Amino acid sequence: DAKTTQPNSMESNEEEPVHLPCNHSTISGTDYIHWYRQLPSQGPEYVIHGLTSNVNNRMASLAIAEDRKSSTLILHRATLRDAAVYYCILRSGGSNYKLTFGKGTLLTVNP
């Protein structure tokens, strides 16, 4: 699986936007970009995924660079409940649906 690089940690203030970056310079043309988050002692929660175009859902937005070598997860207004480890994962577009988790970014939200 292609590798992703994320900052170890980031900090934000409540009700402010948060931009979580992810570099994936070795991404292939069929790799999907997935984002999950994990709160302490819980299973990961699906956030969003995309292939080439930017994506929006009720939780977040995903901005994908034109060359697809990087992407940014955008939380429009951070809340205390958004404090979690965020994982950026590349998934092959073939029949293998395995996800390989890296270390992710620990997001701290200050009140």
Partner 1 sequence: GAVVSQHPSRVICKSGTSVKIECRSLDFQATTMFWYRQFPKQSLMLMATSNEGSKATYEQGVEKDKFLINHASLTLSTLTVTSAHPEDSSFYICSARVPEETQYFGPGTRLLVL
Nearest by Cα to 86 from 30, 24, 2, 19: 19
- When asked if residue 3 is in the footprint of partner 1 (CB under 8 A), the reply is no
Residue 83 C-beta: closest distance to partner 1, Å: 16
Q: Which of residues 51, 65, 80, 99 is near partner 1 by CB under 8 A?
A: 99
Give the residues across from 74 on adjacent strands: 19, 61
Candidate segments 10-18, 23-31, 62-70, 90-98, binder of partner 1 by CB under 8 A: 90-98
* Distances, alpha carbon 103 to alpha carbons 32, 38, 41, 56, 81, in Å: 18, 11, 16, 24, 20
- When asked if residue 104 is in the footprint of partner 1 (CB under 8 A), the reply is yes
Q: Where do contacts with partner 1 occur on this chain (CB under 8 A)?
A: 34, 36, 38, 41-46, 49, 87, 91, 97-104
